[in-house]
Amino acid sequence: MIPFNKPPYTGNEEKYVLESIKSSKISGDGEFTKRCHKWFEEKLNCKKVLLTTSCTHALEMAAILLDIKEGDEVIMPSYTFVSTANAFVLRGAKIVFVDIKPDTMNIDETKIEQAITSKTKVIVPVHYAGVACEMDTIMDIAKRYNLFVVEDAAQGMMSTYKGKALGTIGHLGAYSFHETKNYTSAGEGGLLLVNDDKFVQRAEIIREKGTNRSLFFRGMVDKYSWVDLGSSYLMNDVSAAYLWGNLEKADEINQNRLNTWQKYYDGLKILEKRGIIQLPKISEECIHNAHMFYLKVKDLEERTKLLEYLKENGILAVFHYIPLHSAPAGLKFGEFNGEDKFTTNESERLIRLPVWYKIPIEDINIIIKFIYNFYK
């Protein structure tokens, strides 16, 4: 079986994990956490980053930072993971879903303005497959309506929009280091990106169970105490040590995945020219990170048959999200604004192919061959 994913492993992860264990500082904000924080802030040109236990928790921190409360409305695409919505639902918000664009599967920025009401507080663009949303338009809308923007860049590390790293354009951003992502912290993990100075100190407090413990350790207060809402959102330093092993070779991992993506694209483009499938579209203003390679087939029936055919031949390809607005919780906690012209239809056509760091070229060729065989 050719698996869908393998977590990235560069060779130094075990050494760093052992160093962390031997340091006797294995809880949050240890030496490896500090190394990672410095790397991200310099690499991304970001004001403040904070490693978290997951991207879900980074989004939950964002919701707390923005004082989301019952009755507030948050606009986002329906084609996303449940955490994008859950983070705000937990604070009492109503989710307002809008349609996506079929070329990128990202939120349709032209549908956002009509969904804004007096209760709207946040826009959450999701950078699907590490390909940027139209952030200039989204930030302009947010500015005109005095709204916050939280970038769900779970899949977007190493991707850029007009030269800016995804996650650094909105007021807040979030990355994921789940084992399915381009970089991982021993299977789970996340990062909160704070791009507005006014949120920096409170973000540290929320992450530290609502205490000013971080200020205490920097000598800014003589004792620390409970001062705000919060929870235990810190990544442990052993996980940060594993992540550091990935970050040391971040550019190498990125280029290797881009090569894989291009190999798929070049190998399948004949089928697209024949009108049999559709391949991903990358705009000129975006540099992507090859987080995934997907193709679109004619309809749900054809997708089901192709997935079964690939599995029968030892290839694990998968579909992706079921649109949130059609899920039981989506119906309970949100509503779809406007027409669902593309979200459902496009989601039923999409297939993700195996992509991971150092996937053998032979495996890619086998996958391409069987896709051609299916259509013969």
User: Catalytic residue positions?
Assistant: 181
CA 122, distance to chain mean position in Å, is 17
In whole angstroms, what is the distance from residue 324 CA to residue 326 CA? 5
Tokens of 303: 């997708």
Collapsed DSSP state (helix, strand, coil) of residue 239: helix
Q: What is the DSSP letter of 130?
A: G
HSE-up of residue 370 (Cα within 13 Å, Cβ side): 20
Question: H-helix or E-strand containing 55?
Answer: helix 55-65
- Return the structure tokens found at 223: 């004792």
Structure tokens at 84: 């994008």
Whether residue 351 contacts residue 295, with contact meaning beta carbons closer than 8 Å, is answered with yes
Phi-psi region of 161 (alpha: psi -120 to 50; beta: other; left: phi over 0): beta
CA distance 113 to 183: 34
